[in-house]
Amino acid sequence: MKILSKSFGAYATNCYILIKDCGEIIIDPGDGALEFVRQNCKNLLAILNTHCHFDHIYDDKKIKDEYNLPIYVPKDDAFLCSKDPFGMIEEPFNPDFLVEPDGSLQIADFTLKFHHFAGHTPGCSMIETNGVMFSGDFLFKGSIGRYDFPFSSKIEMKNSLKKALNLGEFVLYPGHGEKTSMSEAREFISYFIERL
Ligand SMILES: [Zn+2]
């Protein structure tokens, strides 16, 4: 699997295109990602979101309208696509598939698992495929996601951090900033569990 990444919008939100022989999957298409798709995709299969904050779903509908593709989001975040608490989404939409917490998906040759780590948002997930993890706004290089937004939960964040300690080794591709790994993350996860 080949991974392309590019950041978009005022918050430099990372968008990822996963490429296999069968086609491509896009994760978290921010503001302007439609052009990234046009340049790099031959057979785009689906749009996936780690969570549904506006900067991660911004171009979902534009890409769906142009390519006629299904949008998959974590079930507990679906409401944010039609009711953006930040008022930044131009065209609210309803996602096509709501992925259950810790649910798995098969899309062509892509086997995917949405690991549920609520706290930043109710449905916040890390998406695992091919031995790597797209960590959204749950884990970053050296830090964790914010838990003070509307619909965030500090208690759920703490529980999610405890749950994350049980994960094996993965490279992490976060929603903002550089990639990291679970072994790096484990060190600061313990720090935050003690302080939350
Ligand atoms: Zn977010």
Q: How confident is the model at residue 90 (pLDDT cuts 50, 70, 90)?
A: confident
Ligand 1 center to 16 CA (angstroms): 15
Question: Crossing angle for the helix pair 60-67 and 33-40, nearest 10 degrees?
Answer: 40
> Taking all residues of the chain, what is their mean pLDDT, rounded to a whole number?
97
- Above 90 in pLDDT, residue 146? yes
pLDDT in tens, 153-168: 999 999 999 999 999 9
Ligand 1 center to 81 CA (angstroms): 13
Ligand 1 center to 21 CA (angstroms): 31
- Above 90 in pLDDT, residue 17? yes
Beta bridge partners of 181: 171
Domains of the chain: 2-195 (3.60.15.10)
Ligand 1 center to 57 CA (angstroms): 10
Instruction: To the nearest 10°, report the CA torsion of 98, 100, 103, 107.
Output: -10
Ligand 1 center to 97 CA (angstroms): 20
Q: What are the φ and ψ backbone dihedral angles of 98, each rounded to 5 degrees?
A: -105, 115
pLDDT in tens, 40-58: 999 999 999 999 999 999 9
